[in-house]
Amino acid sequence: MKSLNTILLIDDDETTNYLNHRLLTRLEVAPDIRVVTNGEEALDYLNKSFAGEPEYPRPDLIFVDIKMSVMDGFEFLEEYQKLDQYDKDKVVMLMLTSSASFYDLEKLKQFPDVRKHYSKPLTEGDVRDVMQEYF
């Protein structure tokens, strides 16, 4: 399996972050896995990353949750759409959520930057599918 450089996990659930981080590390998907706990932190990270700040490497892959405090996943995606397309073209964005409501899945169609959604936590099969399909 190919190795990425950096993955960004955006989720306010510590247990989910722990499980996903552990799985991605065990599968050696990326040596650098960053975790932020809300959309505001994610936007701050990405703005610094896209500006070329070396301590904020550009993520190859982003997993974002829908239900978060401060700024939820949909609010984050609305702001993400405003970022430069050149920067976004180099990033694969996936939704990782425990919410599989019809409303949320329909709303997700408004955000073309999100390629697919997965139920959390990630499974080994999910990770292999992501790597095979996008990398």
Q: Where are the domains of the chain?
A: 6-115
One DSSP character per residue, 36-55 reads ESSHHHHHHHHHHHHTT-TT
What pLDDT score does 102 carry?
Answer: 79
Do residues 77 and 68 touch, judged by C-beta distance below 8 A?
no
Do residues 30 and 6 touch, judged by C-beta distance below 8 A?
yes
What pLDDT score does 99 carry?
Answer: 67
Provide the CB-side half-sphere exposure for 89 (13 A, CA).
3
pLDDT class for 8, splitting at 50, 70, 90? Answer: very high
For 16-54, the pLDDT digits (tens) are 999 999 999 999 999 999 999 999 999 999 999 999 999
CATH 3.40.50.300 fits 6-115, yes or no: no
For 45-70, the pLDDT digits (tens) are 999 999 999 999 999 999 999 888 88
For 79-132, the pLDDT digits (tens) are 999 999 999 999 999 998 886 677 888 888 899 999 999 998 999 999 999 999
Burial 59-93 (b: 16+ CB within 10 A, else e): bbbbbbbbebeebbbbebbeebeeeeeeebeebbb
